[in-house]
């Protein structure tokens, strides 16, 4: 993948030209309509569930068309459409394993091409997209060596070395969520088919499981949880002094810090940026995570900083829009 460059002047001056950045999650998509220089015109969230079949594709296309219309644009103004997905995507845009979502990429592509006929379409791994977003418009500006860690429905990673994204030969570069942190055979079964993967303990779903596990161990009643990924309720419980929530967050940080220490033996980044839904409570666990990392890392890597990403949950939206613009030859 080419190094990031400024968006071209021709696109910036083209009246009404815009790009759609679509962050595809396990339960919904978050979309943003951006100018070619990265100004957000409007955003929308569309509940999805299974993204298979014509009904689902029609719902998404209609939601995106409504977003474009509300921003005062028409479909022909959309010159690039980028989608990030929670799974490996190779350099050719081929989507690989999707452990946490039911998605028919080809069917969705066809629906989007019909809705936005003038647009170049790009697929990007969600964590790689977040890394690109932070590099383009966020807190990674000027940082040429960092790893983006996304903690959401799953756990993803985006690796940037020398200012360039490293997706890997088969799109699996940065898939730190599938590092084994609990011994094979003893850990929880992951959506990838393996056992003991990091995302079973550090994702929103993993944190909820850890919390329920702690409650069961201590014979305590858990707080009300709206769903299997309701990490917000766990963090609220932590703020309220819930001992089970405190223990669960500590276990999450132990697993995540251990994993990042292993990443540092290979990449040795200057910074880890933490994003995704679980990053919204970063202040509650930042010190624990840093302590866990430093307890496990090689001494030379102990100066590595662990910071929240500045774009928050919008990082993927920015990054995938940028990548679509780049593939269109407009960035």
Residue-wise pLDDT tens digits, 63-119: 999 999 999 999 999 999 999 887 677 666 667 656 556 778 888 889 999 999 999
Q: Which residues pair with 23 in a beta bridge?
A: 30, 84
Q: Do domains 9-130+314-327 and 141-309 have the same CATH topology?
A: yes
Where in 5-154 does DSSP place strands (E)?
18-24, 28-35, 40-47, 78-85, 120-125, 145-151
- Cα 56 to Cα 33: distance, rounded to the nearest angstrom: 21
Q: What is the pLDDT of residue 13?
A: 46
- Cα 32 to Cα 83: distance, rounded to the nearest angstrom: 11
Answer yes or no: is pLDDT of 53 > 50: yes
pLDDT band at 26 (very low <50, low <70, confident <90, very high): low
Average pLDDT over residues 53-61: 88
Lowest mean pLDDT among 94-98, 181-185, 233-237, 285-289: 94-98
Q: What is the pLDDT of residue 74?
A: 95
Q: Which token pair is 164?
A: 């360039």
Q: Which token pair is 196?
A: 């003991």
Give tens-digit pLDDT for 126-147: 888 989 999 989 989 889 899 9
Instruction: Answer yes or no: are the C-beta atoms of 79 and 18 closer than 8 Å.
Output: yes
Q: What is the pLDDT of residue 102?
A: 77
- Please give the backbone phi and psi of residue 19, each rounded to the nearest 5 degrees, phi first: -135, 145
Q: What is the pLDDT of residue 17?
A: 94
| Residues whose CB is less than 8 angstroms from the CB of residue 48 and which lie 6 or more positions away in sequence, other chains included | 24, 25, 27, 28, 29, 56, 59, 60
Q: What is the pLDDT of residue 78?
A: 96
- Cα 27 to Cα 254: distance, rounded to the nearest angstrom: 27
Looking up tokens 């091409």 gives 113
Average pLDDT over residues 117-122: 93
Query: Which stretch of DSSP H or E encloses residue 308?
Result: strand 305-308
pTM value? 0.77
| Domain ranges across the chain | 9-130+314-327, 141-309
Query: Which stretch of DSSP H or E encloses residue 73?
Result: none
Assess if CATH 3.20.20.70 describes domain 9-130+314-327: no
Give tens-digit pLDDT for 204-260: 999 999 999 999 999 999 999 999 999 999 999 999 999 999 999 999 999 999 999
Q: In this structure, which topology does domain 141-309 adopt according to CATH?
A: Nucleotidyltransferase; domain 5 (3.30.420)
Answer yes or no: is pLDDT of 200 > 70: yes
Most confident of 42-56, 60-74, 175-189: 60-74
- Across the chain, mean pLDDT equals 89
Looking up tokens 């019909």 gives 114
């Amino acid at each position: 993948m080419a190094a990031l460059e400024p968006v071209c002047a021709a696109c910036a001056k083209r009246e009404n030209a815009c790009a759609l950045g679509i962050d595809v999650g396990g339960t919904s998509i978050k979309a943003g309509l951006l100018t070619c220089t990265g100004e957000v015109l409007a955003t929308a969230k569309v509940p999805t569930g299974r993204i298979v079949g014509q009904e689902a594709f029609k719902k998404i296309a209609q939601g995106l068309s409504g977003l474009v219309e509300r921003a005062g644009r028409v479909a022909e103004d959309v010159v690039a459409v980028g989608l990030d997905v929670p799974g490996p995507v190779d350099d050719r845009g081929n989507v690989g394993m999707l452990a946490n979502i039911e998605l028919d990429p080809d069917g969705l592509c066809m629906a989007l091409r019909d809705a936005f006929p003038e647009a170049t379409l790009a697929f990007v791994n969600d964590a790689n997209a977040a890394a690109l977003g932070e590099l383009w418009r966020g807190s990674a500006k000027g940082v040429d060596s960092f790893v983006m860690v996304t903690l959401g429905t799953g756990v993803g990673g985006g690796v940037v070395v020398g200012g360039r994204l490293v997706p890997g030969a088969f799109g699996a570069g940065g898939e730190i969520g599938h590092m084994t942190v609990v011994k094979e055979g003893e850990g929880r079964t992951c959506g990838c088919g393996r056992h003991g993967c990091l995302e079973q303990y550090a994702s929103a779903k993993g944190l909820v499981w850890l919390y329920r596990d702690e409650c069961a161990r201590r014979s305590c009643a858990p707080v009300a949880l709206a769903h299997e990924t309701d990490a917000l309720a766990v963090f609220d419980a932590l703020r309220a002094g819930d001992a089970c929530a405190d223990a669960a967050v500590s276990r999450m940080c132990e697993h995540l810090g251990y994993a990042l220490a292993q990443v540092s033996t290979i990449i040795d980044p200057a910074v880890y940026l933490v994003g995704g839904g679980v990053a919204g409570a970063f202040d509650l666990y930042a010190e624990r995570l840093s302590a866990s990392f430093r307890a496990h890392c090689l001494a030379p890597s102990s100066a590595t900083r662990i910071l929240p990403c500045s774009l928050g949950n919008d990082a993927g939206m920015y990054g995938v829009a940028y990548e679509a613009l780049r593939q269109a030859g407009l960035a």
